[in-house]
Structures are given as structure tokens and as C-alpha cells.
Amino acid sequence: MTDKYYVNPVEPEYSRHKMSAEFAALLLAFLWIVFITIMHFTVVSSYSRGKKLRIGFLPITCHLLLPVAMERDQWFNDHVETIKFSSWPDMIEAIKGRELDATFILAPIALSLMDQDVPVKIVLLGHRNGTGLVVSKKENIHNADDFRGKTVAIPIRFSTQNLALHMFLSDGSVQASDVNLVELPPPDMPSALTSGGIDAYIVGEPYVAQAELANSGIMLHRVQDIWPDFISSLMIVRDQVLKDKKVLMDQLIHVLYSQGEWIESHREEAARIGAAFFGLPDNLLIHVLTARPTRVVYRRLIPRQDELLRIGDLMVRYELLDHVPPCRLYLGWRHASR
Amino acid sequence: MKIVVQDLNKCFLERRHSIRFLGQCPPGTECRVLKDLNFCIEPGSFTCFIGPSGCGKSTLMRIIAGFDSASSGKVLIDGEECSAPSSRHVFVFQEDGLFPWLTVWQNVAIGARHIHDHEERAEQIMEYIDLVGLAGFEGHYPHQLSGGMRRRAEVARALIVEPDILFMDEPFGALDFVTRLQMREEMVNVHTMFDMTILFITHDIDEALQLGDQVIVFSDRPSTVKADIKLDFPHPRDLGAEPLARIRREVYYLMGLHPAL
Amino acid sequence: MCLPAGFIWGGVMRPVKSLLGFALFLALWYGARKLLDVPVYMLPGPSDVARALKEMAESGQLFESAVASLYRVTWGFYLAVAVSVPLGLVMGRIRWVSDIVNPVIQFLRPISPLAWIPIALMWFGIGDKPAVFLIFLSAFFPMVVFTVSGVAGIRETYLRVADNFGLRGLDLYMKVILPAAMPEIVVGLRITLGTAWLVIVAAEMIAVKSGLGYLIIDARNSLRMDKVVAGMLIIGVIGLVLDHLIRLLERLPWVEWSTRRQ
């Protein structure tokens, strides 16, 4: 083995050490990043940052207008890109960061955005009613007084659900401080009720129906019993977009508004569309939409100043805001109501 | 390279509580390590420093190499005062100084960076590896070699620099007895082959007498030169024969030891 | 034929033993479900999860999610390493740089990457960038610390030898400092990659449309616990594979020396 080098001792450095292991490792690491990047951009559908309007939503029945429009309206598909979120805070960051042109969002959040001088306007409501106060079957809860000392879940403090719960409790002369309020993501509420982690919750559909179908909770009150013509989510648009894409925006409001009318007359079909799009079980949404016509209502979706100011008043009363912010509406609904 | 050391002194400011020098130098005081050293080393000679451990031999070596400075006095190398380290002064340390992440070949190449021609460099590296008897092991990593082989690779790395002065600080201290004897023999051959000045620190009196053209014996701290012995004997040397045997006995007595040990 | 017991039990049997562990885990899972009679939406059983896995594999969702997550982890992790290792090497060598930079790093280090989510969304919008940024943060600070400590632990002899042979500048870093600090850096890489993989799931629960974290959050929103657990399994498996891959680095000569040195 030594002889090899006596025969030809003049061997250049590079031939003796063809490639160092470190260099090979670096090369492999480089090839990997090239590979995974190419894979990512071929396999994974990414956001097309085109000229389309970008609208955010959450998979809840309050935002059903969007999937129905996607299913039924070609104009909508040509001009709008929908972006699914899984939490309200992310959505807030996105609209503040101008990643979204418009979004469906909880009414109190919209008001607090206006309070923070975020340049947005309210253009449309998501739906009316569609919320329920659910209590565990194991607990003996029949009226507001029974809520003393119980644990009750709300989706987020800045929600009309929270305000409605406060109204309900104060009607029964129960202080909010007598009840243990917890914020919980809506999908977790039914299982938390089953496991006994919470005693009751107030939330939008379909998470009321889920507890009903699983037979773990009963709806104590429909929200409209507490707050007639209840508003949960509404759609806000950035001022800049209203200025730059006025015509497009007006048309969009019109399209969405007309979907509401269609849903009212095709409830089961709309439920199927929503279930497929949100990835929810069919029977759940069919139950929500068809059990009772007033359970969720897709009429009267035009925002009204007095209703929103009332929400603002309630927010001030329950210490979510210091004062009622100027309520900024967009009159594009004139096209919508045409 | 003729090395002249004139009136050399070295003081340290003792900062630590060191058990090793307890009682000698209280913390915060100046502690003299080297005291009034005067000696001369002939060009091309093999000079051994012996003395008790901690007496400042390594410090002296670092001063001569320019890595450390003297408190007073001077070191003249070929008549010039030396102040900065030079790449022509190469050390072989007591501990393993080979880079364990490089092969023998790559380690030796560290010393061959002054050769710019690619092919010539490769040729030289192989030649020096061959010289220390490691041909066939150039692709091995240090941990795959025995202690003696690692020392030889280090010597090859030092030699390829073609240093003016080779500094060896107890280079064979960690080797087993037989390997040490072999390394001694090889060092004699190396010195014969390359006409360079070698400074060699050792604790082993026999090793110093076997190797050195000149042996300088240091006292305990503060170190002074106790003896400066010229040995003009051919290799291999028989330490049992006169007059070397007599010199050996004297050095043993100088260091406070019994030669029959 | 006489093999030492240690060889059989410690060598050949090792993979068998870890398989045994997984079998036990599966049995426990299955048994617990049978005994306690929990509904699928509380805890899906192995067969439900297997079905969900098959469904997601066939639809390509699984592959797509894994690619998206790996893409983000790779970029975040690479960027972090590319910045932190050179910075750590310089900090380990040059005192005043470390005196200035180190307090800031020690201050930012204990902040969970998840605490940066709001800022990440503000700065980088939605899509891959905020997730990559969070991974970067999760890997950057520990990697600086590991690199600095790697440089600080270099044996004095190697630095003296480098000095003696006149190694300076880039040569010094590439031939001595980096390989000498490499064993510690690789330990850092291994731990940090694990953390990055932990963080990606959380990072993908914010506004992205793809990835394993999104897969889980989406499955949860659509009330599919079987898919949630399937997603968790895939995250575990990929994490295991990543750990094994990065451990291959320990075999590099620049790293192996530290375990072989007598």
C-alpha cells in the first residue's frame, strides 16, 4: 500500500482528496434547499397576488355568502380570491397589514378597528341571528340566575355573543363577575362542554348545532330572544380599496347581497355548498339552515347606523371601549338594494 | 543562527492563588522567573534545556521565539534583537498539536503553505511524510495513529517549514519508553540531515545527554544557569563510557539526584 | 456460533426494541379506547387515523403539507445558520464584538418565537414569509450561543499551533476555528432543528393555506379529530427522520474527531 506513493509521489492535492466530506455535506444541503423550493412552488398552491380582490373569512355559517357566491357566480370567481383564516387576531393583523382588501369580521372588532383609526368601512352584514346559548345537559341551568358560579365560554371578548351574554345576565340581575367567563375557539366548545370543562357557551353556528346533534347540550336561548335581529359578523373594506376599485367593490357588494336572497330560497342546497367548502359534515349545516327559517337569516344584510351605534354603546357599557367610535359605513349598498 | 542571551530577566505579576508556587509569590506581587541568564548557542547546534519542572524553561523558549517579551536583557539572533514571532521559528509542543480534523497529509500541508507551486507542494509534503516513515498513512486522521506516529507527523509538519530554529518543548514526554528511545534516534538523524538549530526542553537527563551538542542546566525558580556543557561526541553515544559517564554523574548531582537511580 | 449477549441485546436487537416500544404505544392507545369507550371526536382510534392517513395520502394533501412545512423550516433554519454561525465565530474570537452583541442576544433569546407572531404578520403579511421568519428566530439565538461556546472551548494548543504556523484571517477560520468549534455547532444544529420543527406547527396556524400545522388547524375547524391525530403522527415521523439525517453530520471528520480523541 505504501508502494503506490513511491511510484508516483507527485500527486496533486485535489486528486488525493477528491472531495472532502464537509464539502459533500454542504453540497447536499444546497441541493436539498433547491429541491424543496422547487417542490414547494410546483406542488403547493400559493397565493396569486394578482389583481383579484382578497377577502378573508372564517369557516362559520355567518360567512356563508362567500362559498355560495363562489359556487354560483362566475364574475365572483374571476375577480375575488378568498382567504381562509383560523383565528380573528390573524385576520386583524392581515387587514391592518393591508394583506387583505376586505374581510368578514366580528362587528365589535370592526368598531374597535375604527376606534384605532384603521381606515376601513362597513359595507355588508354576514347574516342575522345564527347564535345560541348552549348549556350542558349535566348541569341544571334554566335561567340567568342559575349561571352564578358557572364557567361559560365565549368566542372572544370583542364579539356580539359576549355582549348578548352580558345583556342576558344583567336581565336576570346577575353580575358578569359572578360568572367565570373564558375565551375559547368555537371548534373546541362542544368537546369542552362534553368533557365538563365548561358548563355553557354562547357561539355562532354550526357549533350550537353540533352540541345538539351530539346530544351533549341543549340550546337554552336563541340569540334573537335576547337581541332581536342579532348581528354577528359584517364585512369591512379598506378605504384605499374603496377609492381605487370602487366599481369592482360596488359590484361585489351587489353579488354578495343577492346570494343572501338565493340562500333564503335554497336553504338545503346552500347548506351542502357550505359544508363542502368549509369541510364540515353535511347534516350539521342542513340542520342549522333548515330546522327553523329564523335560526339563521340572510335578509336585511344592509348595515344600519343605529344598530351599529347600539353595539358601540354596549361595548362602552361592558368596558370594551372608552367611547363610541365614529361609525363609518359605505353607501355601496345602494347598488345592492337595487 | 547564532543565539545570544544577555542578562535576561523575566518577572510575572502573580494574579492567581497557585498551589504550585504557594509561599514563593503572594498574589499581587512581582514574581521573578528568570534571573540574569547569559549563554550562547552556536548555529546549527542541538541544545537541550534541563531543569526542575516550573523553572521557566518554556517561558525562556517563548521569549527566544519572540512570542513573549523579557522584562530586561535581550536575545540576539544572528546579532539582531528579536521582538516579534517569526514563521521561521517553529514549535513542537508537549501536547498533541496535530489538528485532529485534518489527515496527516492535510496537517503537513499546513506547514507547506509557503510553497506556492501546487505540484511542488504536493511533492514536498509526500517527501516529508515519507521522511518520518509515515508513507501510506497520509490519509489517516490523528486518532487512527499511535502516539509515536503522531509525534512524527508533527515533526514532519515542523520540518517542511524549513525553520531556522526548531523549538521542542518536552516533545516526547507523553510517549512510552521504547517509543521514546526510537524517537531520540530519529531526532539525531533529523538533526544530522537538516542543518538547523534545535532547542529542546526535556526532564530526562539521559535524553539530553544523548541528543545535545550543548546541555544547559537550570536551577529552580528564579532560574539561573547552573551549568552550560558542550558535548562534542559522535552519535550514537554510550552514556556508560567515560567521559560521558562522568558528565552524566555531574548533571545528576547538579539536579540533586543520585546517578545510580 | 457464539455471540456475546451484549452484541445481540445491544446491537441487533436495538431496532427491534424500538419497534417494540411503538407496538406497546399502539396497544395502549387501542386498549384505552376500547376500555373507556371514548367517541371518535374525543380520541380517534388507530384504525380511524389510518383511514384518515390513507384518505389524505390519496388526495395528495399529506404530501403537499409536508413539502410546505419542510420548505419553510428549511429556509428559516438555513438563514438562521448562515447568519448565526459566522456571527458566533466572530463573537467567540473578538471580545468587543461579543461585549456589544451578547447582551442583546441574551435578552432576545428567552422570548418565545410565538410571541413574535403579531409582529411577523405585520411585517411579512400572510404566506410563507412570516412562518420562515419565526423559524429563523427560533433557530438563530440558540445557534449563536452554541457557536460562541464552541469557539470558547477550543483547546489553547490548536490556537497556539495556528499562530505558530502563521494562519491568519479566513485561513485561520476555515482550517482551525470552524472545525475546532464544529462538534459543538453540530450539537447546536441538532437541538435547534428539533426546536424549529416544533415551532413550524405553531407558525403554520397563522395565516397560511398549507403545511402540517395548517392541516391540523383546518382538520380541527372541520371537526375531524382523526385527521388531527393523523397530522400529529406525520409531524412526529418527519421530526424523527430529520433528527436521524442531521445526526449523519456527526460522522464528518470535522466533527468525529471530538469523540475519537484519546
Q: Which tens digit of pLDDT belongs to each residue from A16-34?
A: 455 678 888 889 999 999 9
Residue burial A124-149, b: 16+ Cβ < 10 Å; e: rest: bbbbbbbbbbbbbeebebeebebbee
A266 and A240 within one domain:
yes
Neighbours of chain B (3+ CB pairs under 8 A): A, C
Q: What is the pLDDT of residue A32?
A: 92
Between the ranges A76-90, B53-67, B117-131, where is the mean pLDDT highest?
Answer: B117-131
Q: Is A32 on the interface with B (CB under 8 A)?
A: no
A137 and A94 within one domain:
no
A236 and A118 within one domain:
yes
CB pairs below 8 Å between A and C: how many?
A: 106
Q: How far is CA C254 from the centre of its chain?
A: 21
Cell numbers for B33: 522567573
Could you tell me if residue A89 is inside a domain? yes
Instruction: Closest CB to A33: pick one of C60, C74, C218.
Output: C74
Q: Is C150 on the interface with B (CB under 8 A)?
A: no
B41 vs B62: CA distance, rounded Å: 16
Q: What is the pLDDT of residue B6?
A: 81
DSSP state of A44: S
Cβ–Cβ below 8 Å for C75 and A33: yes
Residue A183 domain boundaries: 131-226
Q: How far is A21 from chain B (nearest CA, A)?
A: 11
**Which residues in chain A are contacts of B105 at CB distance < 8 A?**
16-17
Q: What percent of chain A has pLDDT over 90?
A: 1
Q: Which tens digit of pLDDT belongs to each residue from B155-169?
A: 889 888 888 888 888
Q: What is the pLDDT of residue A113?
A: 87
**Which residues in chain A are contacts of C218 at CB distance < 8 A?**
84, 86, 279
Q: How far is B122 from chain A (nearest CA, A)?
A: 6
Cβ–Cβ below 8 Å for C257 and B100: yes
Could you tell me if residue C234 is inside a domain? yes
A135 and A284 within one domain:
no
The interface predicted TM-score of the complex, written ipTM, equals 0.82
In the predicted structure, residue C76 carries a pLDDT above the cut 60? yes
Question: Which has the minimum average pLDDT: A7-11, B164-168, C167-171, C185-189?
Answer: A7-11
Cβ–Cβ below 8 Å for B99 and C165: no
Average pLDDT of B112-134?
86
Could you tell me if residue A115 is inside a domain? yes
Average pLDDT of C112-128?
81
**Which residues in chain A are contacts of B118 at CB distance < 8 A?**
12-13
Which of A187, A205, A226 corresponds to the end of one domain?
A226
Write phi, then psi, for A68 (nearest 5 degrees): -65, -40
Write phi, then psi, for A223 (nearest 5 degrees): -65, -30
In the predicted structure, residue B178 carries a pLDDT above the cut 90? no
Minimum Cα–Cα distance from C65: chain A residue = A44
DSSP, residue by residue, A216-245: SEEEEEEHHHHSTT-B-EEEEEEHHHHHHT
At A48, the pLDDT band (50, 70, 90 cuts) reads very low
A205 and A76 within one domain:
no
Q: What is the pLDDT of residue C184?
A: 92
Structural domain boundaries of chain B?
3-86+164-254
**Which residues in chain B are contacts of A10 at CB distance < 8 A?**
119, 122-123, 126
Residue A91 is inside which H or E element, if any?
Answer: helix A88-96
Question: Which has the minimum average pLDDT: A16-30, A70-84, A127-141?
Answer: A16-30
Interface of A with C in 176-195 (CB under 8 A): 187-188, 191, 194-195
**Which residues in chain B are contacts of A6 at CB distance < 8 A?**
135
Average pLDDT score over chain B: 82
DSSP, residue by residue, chain B: --EEEEEEEEEEE--S--GGGTTTS-TTSEEEEEEEEEEEE-TT-EEEEE--TTSSHHHHHHHHHTSS--SEEEEEETTEE--S--TTEEEE-SS--S-TTS-HHHHHHHHTTT--SHHHHHHHHHHHHHHTT-TT-TT--GGGS-HHHHHHHHHHHHHTT--SEEEEESTTTTS-HHHHHHHHHHHHHHHHHS--EEEEEES-HHHHHHH-SEEEEE-SSSB-EEEEEE---PSSP-TTSTTHHHHHHHHHHHTT--TT-
A95 and A190 within one domain:
no
Q: What is the pLDDT of residue B27?
A: 58
At A12, the pLDDT band (50, 70, 90 cuts) reads very low
CB pairs below 8 Å between B and C: how many?
A: 60
In the predicted structure, residue A83 carries a pLDDT above the cut 80? yes
Cβ–Cβ below 8 Å for C70 and A279: no
Question: Which has the minimum average pLDDT: A16-25, B130-139, C173-182?
Answer: A16-25
Average pLDDT of C94-100?
89
Whether the CB-CB separation of A142 and A134 falls below 8 Å is answered with no
Average pLDDT score over chain C: 86
Q: Is C174 on the interface with B (CB under 8 A)?
A: no
In the predicted structure, residue B22 carries a pLDDT above the cut 60? no
Neighbours of chain C (3+ CB pairs under 8 A): A, B
Could you tell me if residue C35 is inside a domain? no
At C2, the pLDDT band (50, 70, 90 cuts) reads low
A322 and A193 within one domain:
no
Could you tell me if residue C168 is inside a domain? yes
Could you tell me if residue C153 is inside a domain? yes
B34 vs B71: CA distance, rounded Å: 9
A331 and A248 within one domain:
yes
Cβ–Cβ below 8 Å for B138 and A2: no
- Any idea what the CATH number is for the domain that residue A312 is in? 3.40.190.10
Cβ–Cβ below 8 Å for C121 and A97: yes
In the predicted structure, residue A278 carries a pLDDT above the cut 70? yes
Three-state secondary structure call for residue C239? helix
Q: Residue B249 class from Cβ within 10 Å (0-12 exposed, 13-18 middle, 19+ buried)? A: middle
**Which residues in chain C are contacts of A280 at CB distance < 8 A?**
222-223
Q: What is the pLDDT of residue C181?
A: 92
* B3-86+164-254 CATH pick, 3.40.718.10, 3.40.50.740, 3.40.250.10, 3.40.50.300: 3.40.50.300
At A5, the pLDDT band (50, 70, 90 cuts) reads very low
A120 and A70 within one domain:
yes
Which of A226, A261, A292 corresponds to the end of one domain?
A226
Residue C171 domain boundaries: 43-260
Which of A226, A241, A263 corresponds to the end of one domain?
A226
At A13, the pLDDT band (50, 70, 90 cuts) reads very low
Residue C225 is inside which H or E element, if any?
Answer: helix C225-247
Q: How many domains does chain A have?
A: 2
Q: What is the pLDDT of residue B192?
A: 82
- Any idea what the CATH number is for the domain that residue C59 is in? 1.10.3720.10
Q: What percent of chain B has pLDDT over 70?
A: 91
Q: How many domains does chain C have?
A: 1
